[in-house]
Amino acid sequence: MEPRTLTMLFRRAPSRDRQRDHICYEGYEILWPDGSPVNVALDAFCQHGQRLLGLGRHLAGRPQQLLDLLCFPLQSPDDRLTRVPGHRVRRFFLEREHTTGRLHFLDGTATDTVFKIDRDEPSVLQWIGLPSLPDGGRQWLDLAVRAAEVPAQATIHSACTATVSSFSYDPTELVPRVVS
Instruction: Please tell me which residue, 6 or 171, carries the higher pLDDT value.
Output: 6
User: Is residue 47 domain-resident?
Assistant: yes
User: Is residue 179 domain-resident?
Assistant: no
* Average pLDDT in the chain: 84
* Contacts with 37 (C-beta within 8 Å, 6 or more apart), sequence order: 29, 30, 31
User: Is residue 66 domain-resident?
Assistant: yes
Write down the pLDDT at residue 151.
53
User: Is residue 180 domain-resident?
Assistant: no
Q: Which helix (H) or strand (E) holds 87?
A: none
Query: Using alpha carbons only, how large is the chain's radius of gyration in Å?
Result: 16
User: Is residue 127 domain-resident?
Assistant: yes
User: Is residue 177 domain-resident?
Assistant: no
User: Is residue 60 domain-resident?
Assistant: yes
| Residue 164, SS3 per DSSP | helix
Residue 156 predicted with pLDDT over 80: no
| pLDDT tens track for 15-40 | 999 999 888 999 999 999 999 999 99
Give the mean model confidence (pLDDT) for residues 126-138: 97
Write down the pLDDT at residue 88.
87
In angstroms, rounded to a whole number, what is the distance separating the alpha carbons of residues 138 and 159?
A: 36
Domain that holds residue 41: 4-169
Give the mean model confidence (pLDDT) for residues 50-60: 84
Cβ 128 vs Cβ 71: under 8 Å: yes
How many distinct structural domains can be found in the chain? 1
Residue 175 predicted with pLDDT over 50: no
Prediction pTM value: 0.79
In angstroms, rounded to a whole number, what is the distance separating the alpha carbons of residues 55 and 63?
A: 11
User: Is residue 152 domain-resident?
Assistant: yes
